[in-house]
């Protein structure tokens, strides 16, 4: 079985990510989407559990997908799941530099692991989780960037934070 892991922070999952999952699902027998803690992105907005829940809802239409979370090294996770492919999405040149280093490091750790890159869909090339979070803070329109179920969660979260802030300012 050709099994691939799609690792990421997914804080929150966007339409750009979903597009990558859909295309990867046609290339592999099974796709495991796994939420990882990225040490370079501390202070996540959503908890691991919330991110997993949003991913499950947003990918319910893709049959060969499983969603999970893992706190540890990606190569250990891949071994555990018997997955030898890692799928990452590529947007701009800045993504490339980061992904290039990451893929080479993984290869150094485990030679059996292959990183497969899928080029972003042009219509989602500007979409990022950080952009979604920023827009949400200022009440911007999110429907082009995230699935409906995620939009609802992001808005609820932003509203909750706003309430908490005004509560402490009283
Ligand atoms: P990480 O913290 O591991 O980079 P992200 O959730 O930011 O996690 O991204 C997960 C993967 O999805 C990365 O490979 C990233 O380049 C890719 N990605 C993010 N947004 C898009 C997009 N709009 N189009 C294609 N790929 C994307």
107 annotated active-site? no
C-beta atoms surrounding 104 within 10 Å: 11
| Pocket around ligand 1 at a 6 A CB cut-off | 8-10, 14, 16-17, 20, 38, 41, 88-89, 91, 95, 120, 124, 127-129
DSSP string, 122-158: GGGTT--HHHHHHHHHTT---TTTS-HHHHHHHHHHH
Mean pLDDT of 148-154: 95
| CA pair distance 63, 10, nearest whole angstrom | 20
| CA pair distance 148, 19, nearest whole angstrom | 15
CB 119 within 8 A of CB 90: yes
| CA pair distance 166, 170, nearest whole angstrom | 6
The single residue of 17, 51, 88, 153 carrying the catalytic annotation is 17
pLDDT value of residue 166: 74
Residue nearest to atom 18 of ligand 1 (CA): 89
C-beta atoms surrounding 13 within 10 Å: 30
User: Quick one: which atom of ligand 1 is closest to the CA of 10?
Assistant: 6
- Res. 163: pLDDT tops 80: no
- Res. 170: pLDDT tops 70: no
| CA pair distance 97, 88, nearest whole angstrom | 13
Collapse the DSSP code of 100 into the 3-class scheme (helix H, G, I; strand E, B; otherwise coil) and give the result: helix
pLDDT digits (tens, 9 = 90+) for 32-85: 999 998 877 778 999 999 999 999 999 999 999 999 999 999 999 999 999 999
Report the b/e string of 48-79 with b at 16+ CB within 10 A: bebbbebbbbbbeebeebebebbeeebbebbe
């Amino acid at each position: 079985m050709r099994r691939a892991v799609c690792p990421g922070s997914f804080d929150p999952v966007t339409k750009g990510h979903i597009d990558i999952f859909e295309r990867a699902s046609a290339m592999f027998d099974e796709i495991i989407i796994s939420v990882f803690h990225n040490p370079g992105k501390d202070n996540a907005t959503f908890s691991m559990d919330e991110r997993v829940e949003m991913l499950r809802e947003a990918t319910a239409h893709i049959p060969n997908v499983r969603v999970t979370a893992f706190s540890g090294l990606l190569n250990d996770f891949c071994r555990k799941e018997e997955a030898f492919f890692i799928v990452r999405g590529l947007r701009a040149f800045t993504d490339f530099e980061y992904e290039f280093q990451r893929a080479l490091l993984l290869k150094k750790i485990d030679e059996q692991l292959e990183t497969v890159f899928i080029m972003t869909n042009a219509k989602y090339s500007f979409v990022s989780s950080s952009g979604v979070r920023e827009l949400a803070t200022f009440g911007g329109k999110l429907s082009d960037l995230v699935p409906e179920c995620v939009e609802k969660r992001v808005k609820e979260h932003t509203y909750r934070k706003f309430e908490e802030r005004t509560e402490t300012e009283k």
